[in-house]
Amino acid sequence: MSTRTKVVIAGVAVALLLSPLIGWFSLLVVLGVPAVAYLMLDPSQRRRLRRVSRKELGR
């Protein structure tokens, strides 16, 4: 198992443990921040973002 996979598994475990304590705020942050960031882009930037694959975003 790679280091990246271990980090992802640990992050999911921590999120599951903390989600009852944090409640709806965590859901708002997880879903709201990326949505607001996407809406702040220009239409040309949104088109470009839809064109690229996920693999290219990591570069």
How does DSSP assign 15-53, residue by residue? Answer: HHHHHHHHTHHHHHHHHHHHHHHHHTS-HHHHHHHHHS-
Cα dihedral 4, 37, 24, 16 in deg (nearest 10): 0
Domain residue ranges of the chain, discontinuous segments joined by +: 23-59
Distance CA 43, CA 39 (A): 9
Distance CA 50, CA 59 (A): 16
Pairwise pLDDT comparison (28 vs 55), residue with the higher score: 28
pLDDT at 16 over 80: yes
Which pLDDT score is estimated for 54? Answer: 62
